[in-house]
Amino acid sequence: MAHYSSEHGMTDVSPHRETSAFNLTADLVTSLRPDQWTKNLIVFAGLVFGGQLMEPTSVFRAAGAFGAFCALSSAMYLVNDLGDRRADRLHPVKAKRPIAAGRISSGVAIGAVVVLLALGLGAGFVLNPMLGGLSLLFVALLTLYSRLLKHMVVLDVLTIAVGFVLRAVAGAVAVGVPSSQWLLVCTLLGALFLGLTKRRQEVDALGEHATEHRPALGRYSVQGLDQMVTIVAGATVLSYAVYTTDPNTIATFGTDLLTLTIPFPVYGVLRYLLIMREHPLASPSDLLLRDRGLAWCAVGWSVAVALIIYRPLG
């Protein structure tokens, strides 16, 4: 139906359809979870710790890998939301997600998944065939997680942690540097720490309804998760301390000053354990972005590492 505009005469575009299209776009962007793209920053670890931060070509390739994994992770969020839409309606926060709320149809979501996978995988293979292979492995792993592994206790969080390791390895491959084994261990344990704390929040917040949202949550207990978190938190800090004091690390960077950065992860882990109890429904990314203490800790650590490795002041 045509609509009249006093300034421009007749128009064939319905204001209602314009609003619907805008709302659909906004809901689709929300479903891509751009706030979760911070998880892909681990891709830049190879650039920084590989001594390539001042090389424009390497920066470009690392940025390309970051963009590729943002597209792939967003695609997998859509896949996960499609599979979980019924269970998400029982969750106090996830019920508001556009797919769970019925504001995005399955057809639109699947179309977006196809486009994002094409962009992410295409960019990976263009940058480096091995990077493309890792991207494909990342998609396969998260698809398996969405369909099966998220229903298996412990394996659910371990799978997510392995996804972070794949991101870190992909970042190193993108810029052509070897992956530090200790950094990969730190990445695995750090991601496992975040995954276990998130499970603890879910079990605590959902209570007796936890199994209705996801059966695997019924196998967890708050007490058991507290023990797991304590063990992994200590192992995370210890692994980073070992990395900074490792003779190979000292030889690679020509300094032992990275040990001075150990207080940052110590503070970060303790701060996270403190505030996660105050915000039981917040995701790790939300806590990192919204809590000033954690944000400044991340910035301080990044600046300290860059200054020590690259010594811009001589």
Domain identity same for 153 and 276: no
Question: What's the structural domain count of the chain?
Answer: 2
Judge whether 55 lies within some domain: yes
Judge whether 70 lies within some domain: yes
Q: Which structural domain, as residue segments, surrounds residue 114?
A: 27-179
Judge whether 8 lies within some domain: no
For 108-144, the pLDDT digits (tens) are 889 999 999 999 999 999 999 999 999 999 999 999 9
Give the Å distances, CA to CA, from 240 to 201, 232, 244, 259, 263.
25, 12, 6, 9, 10
Judge whether 14 lies within some domain: no
Residue at which a domain ends, from 179, 211, 238:
179
Return the pLDDT at 116. Answer: 96
Domain identity same for 117 and 190: no
Return the pLDDT at 171. Answer: 96
Return the pLDDT at 16. Answer: 43
Residue at which a domain ends, from 145, 179, 213:
179
Residue at which a domain ends, from 141, 164, 179:
179
Which residue bears the tokens 């944000």? 295
The answer on pLDDT for 11 being more than 50 is no
Domain identity same for 130 and 196: no
Return the pLDDT at 313. Answer: 60
Most confident of 30-34, 103-107, 145-149, 248-252: 248-252
Residues 38-54 have a mean pLDDT of 93
Return the pLDDT at 150. Answer: 85
Q: Can you give the length of the chain in residues?
A: 314
Task: Quote the percentage of the chain above a pLDDT of 70.
Answer: 90
Residues 78-105 have a mean pLDDT of 79
Domain identity same for 173 and 184: no
Return the pLDDT at 60. Answer: 96
Give the CA-trace dihedral at 211, 215, 221, 226, to 10 degrees: -120
Q: What is the pTM of this model?
A: 0.85
Domain identity same for 295 and 305: yes
| Nearest residue to 20 (alpha-carbon basis) of 108, 111, 116, 110 | 108
Residues 11-21 have a mean pLDDT of 49
What tokens appear for 272 in the block? 């996270």
Return the pLDDT at 7. Answer: 47
Domain identity same for 89 and 192: no
Domain identity same for 219 and 282: yes
